[in-house]
């Protein structure tokens, strides 16, 4: 059983909020995932605060809201899992040179329209969408959905890659586009260890 603490021990390696949201499901590079850090609405909120989608004050207010409306929180969590599924269907094909499915893109369009309907434009160095006044249980997903659209419309799609050792997806921001692992501490180290053991074995049998 994952706990809220597990959510905040994850490595955020996607380089984009939507990719990090997809990466809350873990497992081997292909086939079904074998673990999920998001097990309920409180974990979704904890992840949102950890990943920078929510302020601590917003997270606290959402947890209070969810305790007062458990049915609403369950429905919001179920919708969030559906969002993660279709985001996966958008970005996983892009990581392997494929094309996202049309229904997945249509769902993203609808959710982005809903997200912007709950946002305000706030001035800074440029104007930005903010969801400060959105006090609905869907609030954690707003910036995730918007980050997905931003990446699709303004990002370098050929930088989107899947890790060689697990199912994580990331945007490769390295200069020579040579990144192969979600993180050198995890899959990169595992791969180095595997090569080291293989090399020793082949030396021993020579």
Per CB under 5 A, residues contacting Zn ion are 163, 165-166, 168, 182, 187
Nearest approach in angstroms of CB 156 to Zn ion is 20
Q: Count Cα neighbours of 147 within 13 Å in the Cβ-side half-sphere.
A: 22
Nearest approach in angstroms of CB 163 to Zn ion is 3
Closer by beta carbon to Zn ion, 195 or else 201: 195
Q: What are φ and ψ of residue 162, in 5° steps?
A: -100, 145
Closer by beta carbon to Zn ion, 41 or else 168: 168
Nearest approach in angstroms of CB 130 to Zn ion is 32
Enclosing H/E stretch for 162 = strand 160-162
* Three-point CA angle 72, 4, 130, nearest 5°: 60
Nearest approach in angstroms of CB 121 to Zn ion is 37
- 28 closest CA partner among 196, 190, 204, 160: 190
Cα 84 from Cα 18, distance rounded (Å): 8
Residue 142 is encoded by which pair of tokens?
A: 């707003």
Nearest approach in angstroms of CB 95 to Zn ion is 12
Closer by beta carbon to Zn ion, 29 or else 52: 29
Tell me if 147 sits within 8 A of 169, measured CB to CB.
no
- 5 closest CA partner among 47, 40, 33, 35: 47
Closer by beta carbon to Zn ion, 143 or else 162: 162
Chain centre to alpha carbon of residue 157 = 16
Closer by beta carbon to Zn ion, 72 or else 188: 188
């Amino acid at each position: 059983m994952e706990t809220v603490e597990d959510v905040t021990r994850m490595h955020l390696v996607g380089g984009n909020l939507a990719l990090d949201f997809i990466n809350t499901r873990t497992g081997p590079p292909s086939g079904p995932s074998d673990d999920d850090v998001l097990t309920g609405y409180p974990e979704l909120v904890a992840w949102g605060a950890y990943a920078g989608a929510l302020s601590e004050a917003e997270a606290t207010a959402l947890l209070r809201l969810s305790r007062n409306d458990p049915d609403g929180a369950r429905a919001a969590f179920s919708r969030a899992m559906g969002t993660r599924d279709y985001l996966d269907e958008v970005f996983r094909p892009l990581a392997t040179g494929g094309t996202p499915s049309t229904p997945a893109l249509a769902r993203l369009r609808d959710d982005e329209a809903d997200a912007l309907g709950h946002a305000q434009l706030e001035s800074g160095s440029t104007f930005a969408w903010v969801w400060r006044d959105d006090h609905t249980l869907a609030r954690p997903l707003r910036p995730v959905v918007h980050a997905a659209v931003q990446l699709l419309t303004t990002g370098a799609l050929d930088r989107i890659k899947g890790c060689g050792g697990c199912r994580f997806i990331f945007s490769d921001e390295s200069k020579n586009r040579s990144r192969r692992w979600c993180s050198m501490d995890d899959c990169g180290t595992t791969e180095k260890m595997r090569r080291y053991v293989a090399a020793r074995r082949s030396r021993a049998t020579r």
